[in-house]
């Protein structure tokens, strides 16, 4: 079975009405991003940050998946599918995707503030039990914090994402530009012969890359077009 790897960004979630931070005004849900999505913001006011992510989580539980999410899941019938996402929502999992790598963390989890990636202290939240009271402690005695990679922090999951990208027979980028690092660097791990598709309604410079097809559409319409492209690819082979 051939392997297809999807790299998804903000444009994937926007169609479902769930905002991720991607603005030029420095705001996320009307909050300055440095106050709610930076390590300095967390250190300065953990109560504000905790309550901000409580609010985002409430919105997420009510958010529905879109056709783009569903079509990615559908490809599991024909391909070994891995999703690498820059988004902190769980919409890929909601749609039924099982192999999902979250580069920037997962809004549905909380963790230790001194050892975020220690699985012993990571807690999975549910719609019924998702409110975190400020000052709540993790199992190691530190404050529970959102399982989110704040701006300025390292991205530990980039290595497993690169390993998956190296195995790809087809690589698809949805809703993110080739300017957002470190994720944009993943394209360098594709084998030279691997076909690459970019689904994004905005113009994207692809001059420095070969073997790339740009589908200038949103996530859902772009995935429908990709389905046709993949059928054609199979036919030609």
Residue closest to 222 by CA, chosen among 175, 184, 171:
175
Task: Report how far residue 47's alpha carbon sits from residue 37's, in angstroms, rounded to the nearest whole number.
Answer: 13
Q: Is the peptide bond before 182 cis (omega within 30 degrees of 0)?
A: yes
Q: Is 104 a catalytic residue?
A: yes
Determine phi and psi for 75, rounding to 5 degrees. -70, -10
3-state helix, strand, coil in the chain (%, to 5): 35, 20, 45
**β-strands 123-124, 80-85: how paired?**
unpaired
Partners of residue 160 on adjacent β-strands: none
Catalytic residue among 39, 102, 104, 131: 104
Residue closest to 148 by CA, chosen among 60, 99, 89, 97:
89
Catalytic machinery residues: 104
């Amino acid at each position: 079975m051939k392997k297809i790897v999807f790299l998804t960004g903000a444009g994937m979630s926007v169609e479902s009405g769930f905002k991720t931070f991607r603005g030029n005004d420095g705001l996320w849900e009307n909050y300055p991003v440095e106050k709610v999505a930076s390590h300095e913001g967390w250190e300065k006011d953990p109560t504000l940050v905790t309550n901000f992510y409580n609010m985002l989580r409430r919105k997420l539980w009510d958010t529905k998946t879109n056709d783009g999410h569903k079509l990615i899941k559908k490809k599991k019938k024909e391909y070994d599918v891995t999703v690498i996402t820059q988004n902190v929502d769980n919409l890929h999992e909601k749609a039924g995707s099982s192999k999902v790598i979250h580069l920037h963390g997962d809004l549905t989890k909380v963790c230790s503030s001194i050892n975020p990636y220690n699985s012993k202290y990571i807690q999975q939240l549910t719609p019924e039990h998702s409110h975190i009271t400020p000052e709540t402690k993790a199992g190691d005695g530190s404050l529970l914090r959102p399982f989110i990679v704040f701006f300025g922090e390292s991205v530990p999951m980039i290595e497993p994402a690169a390993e998956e990208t190296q195995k790809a027979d087809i690589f698809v980028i949805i809703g993110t530009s080739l300017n957002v690092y470190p994720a944009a660097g993943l394209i360098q791990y594709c084998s030279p012969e691997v076909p690459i598709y970019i689904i994004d309604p905005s113009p994207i410079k692809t001059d420095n890359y070969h073997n790339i097809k740009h589908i200038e559409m949103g996530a859902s319409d772009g995935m429908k077009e990709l389905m046709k492209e993949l059928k054609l690819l199979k036919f030609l082979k």
